[in-house]
């Protein structure tokens, strides 16, 4: 399966803590979170329609077997008027409290990647 996009996360600069890979799927945004050894840690699956005119958009954090949702990255709906008058966007990240700090940093990187891929060009 071809990889469409890869994000390398470093902290501090020069020290790789992991990767976010976006994989092709005909209908869903799909990502795999990998640690510094390129071992899969978790998956992210987005909504079928990535358009937020009516409510929040949730990208679910899933276990490797895709059986359990353990968190989410969400683009929070700011309202019609605020959306027209401002260029700001609100994102939220939810994950387990005891998640490794490196994986939390990877989730932040995944949020930036999702914002760039799906929301940078249109509201």
CB 93 within 8 A of CB 108: yes
How far is residue 109's CA from residue 88's CA, in Å, rounded to a whole number?
19
Q: What is the pLDDT of residue 13?
A: 92
Laid out side by side, the sheet with 57-62 consists of: 3-10, 16-23, 30-35, 40-45, 57-62, 69-76, 90-94
Q: What is the tally of structural domains in the chain?
A: 1
Q: Check residues 116 and 104 and name the one with the higher pLDDT.
A: 104
- pLDDT band at residue 27 using 50, 70 and 90 as cut-offs: confident
Largest pairwise CA distance in the chain: 45
Tokens 């309202």 appear where?
79
Residue span of the structural domain in which 89 resides: 3-119
CB 26 within 8 A of CB 123: no
pLDDT at 108 over 50: yes
Q: Check residues 67 and 88 and name the one with the higher pLDDT.
A: 67
- pLDDT band at residue 79 using 50, 70 and 90 as cut-offs: low
- The pLDDT mean for the chain works out to 83
CB 110 within 8 A of CB 43: no
3-state SS class at 60: strand
């Amino acid at each position: 399966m071809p990889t469409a996009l890869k994000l390398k996360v470093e902290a501090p600069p020069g020290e790789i803590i992991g990767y976010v890979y976006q994989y092709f799927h005909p209908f869903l945004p799909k990502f795999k979170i990998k640690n510094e050894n390129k071992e899969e840690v978790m998956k992210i699956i987005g909504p079928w329609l990535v358009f937020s005119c009516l409510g929040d958009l949730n990208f679910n954090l899933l276990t490797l077997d895709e059986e359990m949702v353990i968190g989410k990255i969400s683009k929070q709906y700011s309202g019609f008027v605020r959306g027209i008058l401002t260029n700001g966007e609100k994102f939220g990240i939810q994950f387990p409290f005891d998640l490794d700090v490196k994986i939390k940093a990877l989730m932040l990187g995944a949020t930036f990647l999702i914002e760039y891929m799906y929301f940078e060009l249109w509201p």
